[in-house]
């Protein structure tokens, strides 16, 4: 029956292409929060506020004080593969922004009811674009952008059914902002849920931000890490064995400011604990890796949660050595301060 049933090849309609892309990028409200906060950071925001209703399922509003989008470009912001961040392959290879695929807003808009309000420096007023109707109207607001995403997955009930309770979705949203907050202490973050403040991190020093996000217990139970190894620079804090848990839910790894999951990095870090951590217990750490963008490919996963290092072994080694060094300092006896 296969031959008889052949159907002609057709190009999919734009809307469906975006919905398929949304399947990869937008799993739950927290994925929307991640994409919108990425955009706010790329826009140079100093303060980012996230407002949620019903764990983000009913509404997600992300407000920033960044550069804004001029009204004539608002429709483009929603178009697939339209971006202000890269122009050619060369810029892709050395990309330093969180975004570059020009896909997130189009994907999110295809599975929700989305609107953007924005105002650029020097503009007389702002503009608001409703993605569903295409209507562009004036909007009174300060410089920056607010993107509102209502009724996520309203058009795809099958997807909506996979969502968990509001409390669980809220927790994922907060975790998503926490990941940003750890690596961007120069930016203030606030998350509101149902009109109540759920979490807030004011601008702080890098050290203070880690304390604010992960708590004083983490600071007390961890040691600073700072190392340079060839083209790599590593900074962060590594938890002493006492901080280890059954779940590796306090492992924050960043590559050039981007939160990632990487098996080689995780393995390098875990191996540094081989002598002091037994069984399946997982160490806690914050590890920020800076590397020449040409030595890492960030374009391997739609959500960019994975990266590919040109020399993964080098990264593994550097992480392992840096963590061992940081832990060794903590075990050395405390010597009286040398007189100079």
Per rule CB under 6 A, is residue 99 in the interface with ligand ADP?
yes
Per rule CB under 6 A, is residue 258 in the interface with ligand ADP?
no
DSSP character string of 122-146: T-SSEEEEETTT--EEEE---SEEE
The distance of closest approach from Cβ of residue 9 to ligand ADP in the complex, given in angstroms and rounded to an integer, is 28
Q: What is the number of other CB atoms lying within 10 angstroms of the CB of residue 228?
A: 12
The distance of closest approach from Cβ of residue 84 to ligand ADP in the complex, given in angstroms and rounded to an integer, is 3
Report the distance separating Cα 239 and Cα 87, nearest Å: 41
Which residue, 29 or 68, is less far from ligand ADP as judged by CB?
68
Q: Which one of ligand ADP, Mg ion, none is in contact with 57 (Cβ closer than 5 to 8 A by kind)?
A: none
Q: Which one of Mg ion, ligand ADP, none is in contact with 84 (Cβ closer than 5 to 8 A by kind)?
A: ligand ADP
**To which H or E segment does residue 110 belong?**
helix 104-110
Report the distance separating Cα 137 and Cα 133, nearest Å: 11
Place of tokens 């393995």: 267
Task: Select from 13-21, 33-41, 244-252, 254-262 the region that touches Mg ion (CB under 5 A).
Answer: 33-41
Report the distance separating Cα 98 and Cα 60, nearest Å: 20
Closest CA relative to residue 182, chosen from 223, 221, 213: 213
The distance of closest approach from Cβ of residue 75 to Mg ion in the complex, given in angstroms and rounded to an integer, is 16
- Cβ pair 284, 195 in contact under 8 A: no
Q: What is the number of other CB atoms lying within 10 angstroms of the CB of residue 135?
A: 10
The distance of closest approach from Cβ of residue 119 to ligand ADP in the complex, given in angstroms and rounded to an integer, is 10
Number of residues that bind ligand ADP (CB under 6 A): 22
Per rule CB under 6 A, is residue 330 in the interface with ligand ADP?
no
Report the distance separating Cα 128 and Cα 144, nearest Å: 12
Per rule CB under 6 A, is residue 104 in the interface with ligand ADP?
yes
Per rule CB under 5 A, is residue 99 in the interface with Mg ion?
yes
Q: What is the number of other CB atoms lying within 10 angstroms of the CB of residue 137?
A: 12
Task: Candidates 31, 39, 112, 145: give the one binding Mg ion (CB under 5 A).
Answer: 39
Across 240-326, where does the E strand assignment appear? 251-255, 258-260, 285-291, 296-297, 308-309
Could you tell me the CA-to-CA distances from 2 to 6, 127, 150 in Å, in that order? 7, 53, 42
Task: Candidates 22, 60, 105, 284: give the one binding ligand ADP (CB under 6 A).
Answer: 105
The distance of closest approach from Cβ of residue 85 to ligand ADP in the complex, given in angstroms and rounded to an integer, is 5
Which residue, 30 or 67, is less far from ligand ADP as judged by CB?
67
Task: Map the footprint of ligand ADP across residues 32-71, applying CB under 6 A.
Answer: 35, 39-40, 43, 64, 66-69
The distance of closest approach from Cβ of residue 163 to ligand ADP in the complex, given in angstroms and rounded to an integer, is 22
Strands lying side by side in the sheet with 232-239: 222-229, 232-239, 285-291, 251-255, 258-260
The distance of closest approach from Cβ of residue 13 to ligand ADP in the complex, given in angstroms and rounded to an integer, is 19
Task: Select from 32-40, 265-273, 278-286, 287-295 the region that touches Mg ion (CB under 5 A).
Answer: 32-40
Could you tell me the CA-to-CA distances from 311 to 20, 173, 251 in Å, in that order? 33, 33, 22
Task: Candidates 45, 61, 104, 287: give the one binding Mg ion (CB under 5 A).
Answer: 104
Closest residue (Cβ) to ligand ADP?
Answer: 99
Task: Select from 77-85, 187-195, 289-297, 298-306 the region that touches ligand ADP (CB under 6 A).
Answer: 77-85
Which residues contact ligand ADP (rule: CB under 6 A)?
35, 39-40, 43, 64, 66-69, 77, 83-85, 99-106, 145
Q: Which residues bind Mg ion (CB under 5 A)?
A: 39, 99, 104
């Amino acid at each position: 029956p296969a031959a008889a049933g052949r159907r002609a090849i057709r190009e999919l309609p734009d809307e469906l292409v975006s919905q398929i892309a949304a399947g990869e990028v937008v799993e739950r409200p927290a994925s929307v929060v991640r994409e919108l906060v990425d955009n706010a950071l790329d826009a140079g925001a100093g303060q980012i506020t996230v407002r949620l209703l019903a764990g983000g399922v009913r509404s997600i509003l992300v407000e920033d004080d960044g550069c804004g989008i001029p009204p004539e470009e608002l429709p483009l912001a929603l178009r697939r593969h339209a971006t202000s961040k890269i122009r050619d392959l060369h810029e892709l290879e050395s990309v330093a922004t969180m975004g570059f695929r020009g896909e997130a807003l189009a994907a999110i808009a295809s599975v929700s009811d989305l609107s953007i309000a924005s105002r650029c420096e020097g503009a007389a007023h702002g503009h608001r674009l409703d993605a569903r109707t295409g209507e562009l109207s004036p909007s009174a607001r300060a410089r920056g952008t607010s993107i509102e995403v209502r009724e996520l997955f309203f058009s795809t009930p099958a997807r909506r059914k996979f969502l968990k309770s509001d409390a669980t979705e809220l927790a994922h949203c907060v975790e998503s902002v926490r990941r940003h907050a750890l690596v961007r202490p120069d930016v203030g973050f606030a998350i509101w849920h149902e009109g109540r403040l759920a979490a807030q991190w004011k601008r702080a020093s890098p050290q203070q931000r880690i304390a604010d996000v992960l708590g004083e217990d983490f600071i007390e139970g961890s040691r600073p890490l700072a190392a340079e190894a060839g083209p790599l620079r590593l900074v962060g804090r590594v938890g002493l064995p006492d901080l280890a848990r059954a779940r590796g839910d306090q492992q924050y790894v960043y590559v050039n400011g981007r939160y990632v999951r990487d098996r080689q990095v995780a393995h390098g870090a875990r191996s540094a604990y081989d002598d002091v951590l037994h069984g399946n217990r997982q160490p806690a750490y914050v590890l920020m890796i800076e590397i020449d963008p040409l030595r890492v490919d960030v374009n391997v996963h739609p959500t960019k949660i994975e990266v590919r290092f040109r020399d993964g072994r080098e990264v593994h080694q550097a992480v392992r050595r840096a963590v061992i060094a940081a832990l060794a300092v903590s075990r050395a006896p405390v010597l009286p301060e040398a007189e100079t």
